[in-house]
């Protein structure tokens, strides 16, 4: 999908510092104070992880500040935006449209802020569900979103500690925590989240030993 | 797959009472005493559910007694049997071969005991993972396996109570319990289990209210 969009528009090399400023300004206007603050915290956490694991810091800043750009939209608005951007809506997303806020944010980043970097767009798209075989930037944004300093839930301290040493194990714990919450609350679970967790466990290679 | 097998062999109308006796004899010889006892308990529970919800009692008995027919096989044996029966092995099953014991049991039932009833074969195949839009017999065998009188785990009493009134809600709770266990233990989760749970939640229609 992104390839068609970029070909249509022509790819430009953007000044990511300027893009970051525009995005930060936009979310300060469009998101609640609480969510704006969360976005800044995610950026701080993502930069720390970036320094530890070696992702591109400028891309990390942009993906982090933009990840919740579409979070203030209602369910109906998300469905309409997804239709506008020709995003394929699956049965789970149709019934739980908040799952679309990542994809919609990525399309707004491409459409209105000129971002054509696939690493950034994917990290924003998959920051809630995860996906199979995530890139380093995907992992950093997903994890930063879960463990930023404003988050409080049972086990978060352990995940923060492990995040300093082993990003994949921290991600498994973060994903487990989300899964247990979704399960207990009788929420739908997106198949991508299971593919994400399974791919991390399989990479770890210790399945037979369990 | 089953269609090809049945065409090749020719479908016979079997005496299910005789098939049941043969299966019961086989599992009394091949399974441990504990697992044989479990199979008998599953049969008792499945018959109770059958009377409540109206599945064919003879088919229910056969599916219940046969569901763990392949449970004594080792991981390597399950892989070999699956290959022998041309069962497609996915990445999750390959890494956690015990997930194949349902499919392998169904194929043994077809191959060695002459069962060609798809309702029975599917209920045996999917009794561990579940699947999207389960049949009544699928549901009864899955649930009976979880709540038979020998099972003890937190919440089982509540599931047993709800099973008397609302099989779908009991299944959601049973599936939740399995998911939480698999998650906490860092086991792989089969995508079919998520499709199973999502399809039950979507059927309930109360997703938006959560």
Q: What is the mean pLDDT of residues B9-13?
A: 58
Chain B residue with CA closest to A171: the answer is B186
The minimum CA-CA distance between B180 and chain A, rounded to whole Å, is: 6
Instruction: Give me B158's structure tokens.
Output: 């509540």
Q: Do the Cβ atoms of B180 and A185 come within 8 Å?
A: no
Do residues A196 and B85 lie in contact, with contact meaning Cβ atoms separated by under 8 Å? Answer: no
Confidence of residue A12 (pLDDT cuts 50, 70, 90): low
What sign results for the dihedral spanned by CA atoms B26, B32, B37, B39? Answer: negative
Q: Which chain B residues are closer than 8 Å to A185 by Cβ?
A: 210
The distance between the two most distant Cα atoms of chain A, rounded to a whole number of Å, is 51
Write the pLDDT tens digit of every residue in B98-107.
Answer: 999 999 999 9
pLDDT at residue A4 in the model: 73
Quick one: what percent of chain B has pLDDT higher than 70?
A: 93
pLDDT at residue A8 in the model: 65
pLDDT at residue A30 in the model: 94
Instruction: Give me A162's structure tokens.
Output: 């492990």
Quick one: what percent of chain A has pLDDT higher than 70?
A: 93
DSSP A24-42: HHHHHHHS-HHHHHHHHHH
Q: Which chain A residues are closer than 8 Å to B208 by Cβ?
A: 75, 95
pLDDT at residue A70 in the model: 98
Chain B residue with CA closest to A183: the answer is B176
Write the pLDDT tens digit of every residue in A22-59.
Answer: 999 999 999 999 999 999 999 999 999 999 999 999 99
> Hey, where are the domains in chain B?
2-6+13-204
Instruction: Say which residue, A207 or A157, is predicted with more confidence.
Output: A157
Confidence of residue A209 (pLDDT cuts 50, 70, 90): very low
Does B5 score more than 90 pLDDT? no
CA proximity to B171, closest of B141, B205, B206, B207: B141
Residue with tokens 């899964």: A179
Does B56 score more than 90 pLDDT? yes
Q: Look up the CATH architecture of domain A2-152.
A: Orthogonal Bundle (1.10)
pLDDT at residue B9 in the model: 63
CA torsion angle A130 A136 A139 A141 (round to 10): -110
Write the pLDDT tens digit of every residue in A65-77.
Answer: 999 999 999 999 9
pLDDT at residue B43 in the model: 98
Write the pLDDT tens digit of every residue in B122-167.
Answer: 999 999 999 999 999 999 999 999 999 999 999 999 999 999 999 9
Mean pLDDT of chain B: 93
Q: Which chain A residues are closer than 8 Å to B191 by Cβ?
A: 191, 194-195
Does A149 score more than 80 pLDDT? yes
Confidence of residue B1 (pLDDT cuts 50, 70, 90): confident
**B78, B178, B189, B197: best to mutate for the A interface, most A CBs within 10 A:** B189
Confidence of residue A7 (pLDDT cuts 50, 70, 90): low
Write the pLDDT tens digit of every residue in B189-200.
Answer: 999 999 999 999
| pTM confidence score | 0.91
Residues of A at the B interface, defined by Cβ within 8 angstroms? 75, 91-92, 95-96, 172, 176, 179-180, 183-189, 191, 194-195, 197-198, 201-202, 207-208, 210
Instruction: Give me B88's structure tokens.
Output: 């497609």
**B133, B178, B198, B200: best to mutate for the A interface, most A CBs within 10 A:** B198
CA proximity to B78, closest of B104, B58, B60, B52: B104
Write the pLDDT tens digit of every residue in B70-98.
Answer: 999 999 999 999 999 999 999 999 999 99
Number of residues assigned to chain B: 210
Does B10 score more than 80 pLDDT? no
Backbone phi, then psi, for B68, in 5-degree steps?
Answer: -105, 20
Does A6 score more than 90 pLDDT? no
Q: Which chain B residues are closer than 8 Å to A176 by Cβ?
A: 183-184, 186
Does B207 score more than 70 pLDDT? no
Write the pLDDT tens digit of every residue in A157-177.
Answer: 999 999 999 999 999 999 999
ipTM for this prediction = 0.90
Q: Look up the CATH architecture of domain B2-6+13-204.
A: Orthogonal Bundle (1.10)
| Secondary structure in 3-state letters for chain B | CHHHHHHHHCCCCCCHHHHHHHHHHHHHHHCCHHHHHHHHHHHHHHHHHHHHHCCCHHHHHHHHHHCCCCCCCCHHHHHHHHHHCCCCCCHHHHHCHHHHHHHHHHHHHHHHHCCCCHHHHHHHHCCCCCCCCCCHHHHHHHHHHHHCCCCCCCCHHHHHHHHCCCHHHHHHHHHHHHHHHHHHCCCCCCHHHHHHHHHHHHHHCCCCCC
pLDDT at residue A207 in the model: 43
- The set of long-range contacts for A138-142, using a CB threshold of 8 Å and a minimum separation of 24, is A139/A53, A139/A167, A139/A168, A139/A171, A140/A46, A140/A49, A140/A50, A140/A53, A140/A55, A140/A60, A140/A167, A141/A42, A141/A46, A141/A60, A141/A63, A141/A64, A141/A67, A142/A171, A142/A174
Who among A176, A191, A207 is closest to B183 (CB)?
A: A176
Q: Do the Cβ atoms of B191 and A191 come within 8 Å?
A: yes
The minimum CA-CA distance between B2 and chain A, rounded to whole Å, is: 27
Does A1 score more than 90 pLDDT? no
């Amino acid at each position: 999908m992104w390839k068609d969009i970029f070909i249509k528009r022509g790819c430009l090399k953007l000044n990511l510092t300027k893009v970051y400023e525009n995005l930060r300004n936009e979310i300060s206007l469009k998101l609640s104070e609480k969510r704006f603050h969360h976005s800044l915290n995610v950026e701080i956490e993502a930069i720390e992880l970036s320094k530890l694991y070696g992702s591109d810091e400028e891309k990390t800043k942009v993906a982090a500040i933009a990840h919740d750009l579409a979070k203030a939209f209602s369910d109906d608005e998300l469905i309409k935006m997804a239709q506008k951007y020709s995003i394929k809506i699956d049965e789970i997303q149709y019934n739980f449209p908040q799952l679309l806020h990542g994809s919609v944010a990525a399309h707004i980043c491409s459409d209105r802020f000129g971002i054509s970097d696939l690493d950034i767009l994917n990290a924003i798209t998959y920051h809630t569900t995860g996906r199979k075989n995530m890139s380093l930037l995907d992992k950093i944004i997903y994890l930063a979103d879960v463990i930023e300093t404003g988050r409080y839930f049972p086990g978060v301290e352990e995940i923060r500690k492990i995040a300093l040493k082993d990003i994949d194990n921290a991600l498994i714990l973060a994903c487990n925590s989300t899964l247990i919450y979704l399960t207990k609350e009788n929420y739908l679970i997106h198949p991508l989240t299971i593919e994400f967790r399974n791919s991390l466990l399989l990479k770890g290679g210790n399945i037979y030993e369990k």
